[in-house]
Amino acid sequence: MSDPMRPRASLRTAVVWEVLKDALDRRVKATGRDALDVLDTGGGSGNFAVPAARLGHRVTVVDPSPNALFALERRAAEAGVADRVKGVQGDAHGLFDVVERGGYDAVLCHGVLEYVDDPAEGVRNAVAALRPEGVLSLLAAGLGGAVLARALAGHFKEAQKALEDPNGRWGEGDPVPHRFTVEQLTALVEGAGLRVGAVHGVRVFADLVPGVLVDTEPGALDALLKLEAAAAEFPAFHSVATQLHVLGETQAAADA
């Protein structure tokens, strides 16, 4: 995976990274500690873990793929943060076989809920890993974005199938087992005992704009990034976003 700081990859990660960085900065101020303990479930090769470690935080990445963890180790070393990034093999279901409960100031759960059998259990496990004053960064596939993408590609029956399917799937060939609405994700977060601090739509336009336009038109990438950031907070665009980001806070963190 690419870094959130690299231009092309930033279309997919910029909004989430800015929200996450702000949340981590607020936890630093609230705790008085320069370095936080961060858990990144399903963190793969370190798309967010390495930038978080660059801020000085200690990051544990849990991922089922040995190849991803090998790439994480190499990437952390190249970034000079190998001493602050630890990768362990595991998954959301057996999270506490490899990490401790209640040991983290922030937990990232990005691109995980789509693939677990029980999304509610996945969120509960992520929350159980938090300290009493902690934040959860939850990123998952949005239903509306998939419906819109299938329709714009001319696959109208698949678009309707996704719209009506309980899991938001457009057919047997759909590689994503679960997609979510904002209401579903916020209900999962609140059901696990957290307060919803913010909701953002991610990749509202990025997946719909022809890549050749972004790559060749002068200033197009920067303008698109600014548009994505501006639209991310508007509820009207959440229903068509490719991904949805929810920031959840423990009550103690929200009060801090």
**58 DSSP β-pair partners:** 37
CA atoms of 60 and 88, how far apart (whole Å) = 7
Inter-CA distances, 231 with 30, 61, 185, 202, Å: 29, 30, 19, 9
CA atoms of 144 and 238, how far apart (whole Å) = 8
pLDDT at residue number 30: 92
pLDDT at residue number 6: 47
pLDDT at residue number 3: 43
pLDDT at residue number 208: 84
Per-residue pLDDT of the chain in tens (256 residues, 90 and over written 9): 334 444 456 777 889 999 999 999 999 999 999 999 999 999 888 999 999 999 999 999 999 999 999 999 999 999 999 999 999 999 888 899 999 999 999 999 999 999 999 999 999 999 999 999 999 999 999 999 999 999 999 999 999 999 999 999 999 999 999 999 999 999 999 999 999 999 999 999 988 887 777 778 888 888 998 999 999 999 999 999 999 999 999 987 777 6
pLDDT at residue number 245: 97
pLDDT at residue number 137: 97
pLDDT at residue number 252: 78
Where are the extended beta strands (E) located within 102-228? 104-110, 130-141, 195-202
pTM over 0.75: yes
**207 DSSP β-pair partners:** none
pLDDT at residue number 4: 44
